Amino acid sequence: MGHTAAALAFDVERVRADFPILSRQILCKRLVYLDNAASAQKPQAVLDAVRHFYAEESSNVHRGVHYLSTVATKAYEGARDRIREWIGARDRGEVVFTRGTTESINLVAQSFLRPRVREGDEVLTTHMEHHSNIVPWQILAEQTGCRLVVAPIDDRGELQRDEFERRITARTRLVSVVHVSNALGTVNPVREICAAARARGIPVLIDGAQAMPHQRVDVGALGCDFYAFSGHKLYGPTGIGVLYGRRELLDAMPPWQGGGDMISNVTFEKTTWNELPYKFEAGTPHVAGAIGLGAAVDYLRALDLGAAAEHEADVLAYATARLAEVKGLRLIGTAREKIGVVSFVLEGVHPHDIGTILDQEGIAIRVGHHCAQPVMQRFKVPATARASFAFYNTREEVDALVHGLARVRELFPQ
């Protein structure tokens, strides 16, 4: 399987040098980090930005007239501006900082949808969702009497489009789907999903946690109403994320949490709300996290993203071919359009044993249900082993994974 020209043009070793953790050793073995779908590593530029804030500019934002507060506020809001441009939002009021994808989805469930649904109304999702795009709707169903409708996936892990559209009814109040499955790597046709829903006047939320690290996402071009993603998967800090929402919808939504900074005026008789996006950012924000996420976006902007994506695709194709050579290994998720995830089971070996043995070889993968238990149930497995790739991974690391699996097979012969 040959390298593409773009993949060859991508200097992966130069990029790897930007990520300090990739040079460390685990149990006297060079780290092979293949757990990027859980959390990606951080380039030096992000580490420097966070350290600089705490060492040189640490202060609360929006509330002070002193120098440090002014500088911190400028850096915090500057990060919002760069993220707004990166995702194609129309204005900065549409970029709400949250703790991550999970909080963003819960915000939409409680602030946007809860006031708008009644018993018998429906939220449409798919069988490949992360728990974060299932449980908030189940909580909403308990609160309101609405119901969660699930569109099926096929044996490849692809959405059955005809069944999905058949489930859009007069009672559908929101479509909420994942852009890329964390357990399967499947890329959903979200632009077409948004168009089908929009034709019926139904708003759409996209869980973009797994898509953002692998491709440039333009929320306007997608046609979605809400888009949620997390910083730590996008080479940024933990505890920070973004909810994009169309201004018309965010304007009409009540605050989700009350407290400082989300208010305009407070009396014991009545409180009025701040303007967007601050209406949804109660309390002291994760200032360092936002600055770090802005630095991650700056880092990605400086990359040749087309070449990076080609490199990732080459590594994924190589991994798929090499894993097919492993005796007794079965891939879970073989969608025709995938992004950097290979989930698999190995006959006669529990995934936790696979992960433990590979760890002894310095190889970090994820094992378990990946917060996607319905996916495991669909494929009749209790768990899978999952290797997930970023643009800093290499074919040589895939070879190390395959070598490690040979070690697993030695310890668990068929």
What positions carry a catalytic annotation? 371
The Cβ of residue 253 has, within 10 Å, a number of other Cβ atoms equal to 20
d(CA 4, CA 107): 42
b vs e for 218-248, b when ≥16 Cβ sit within 10 Å of the residue's Cβ?
A: ebeebbbbbbbbbbbbbbbbbbbbbbbbbee
Query: Taking phi first (over 0 means left), then psi (-120 to 50 degrees means alpha), and beta for anything else, what does residue 343 get?
Result: beta
- Residue 317 pairs in a beta bridge with none
User: In a 3-state reduction of DSSP, which class is residue 348?
Assistant: coil
For 151, 332, 342, 377, 397, the CA distances from 380, given in Å and listed in that order, are 18, 10, 17, 5, 29
Question: Do residues 256 and 277 make contact, with C-beta atoms less than 8 angstroms apart?
Answer: no
Sequence-ordered list of residues with C-beta below 8 angstroms from that of 52, at least 6 positions apart, any chain: none
Question: Do residues 412 and 349 make contact, with C-beta atoms less than 8 angstroms apart?
Answer: yes
Question: Do residues 411 and 357 make contact, with C-beta atoms less than 8 angstroms apart?
Answer: yes
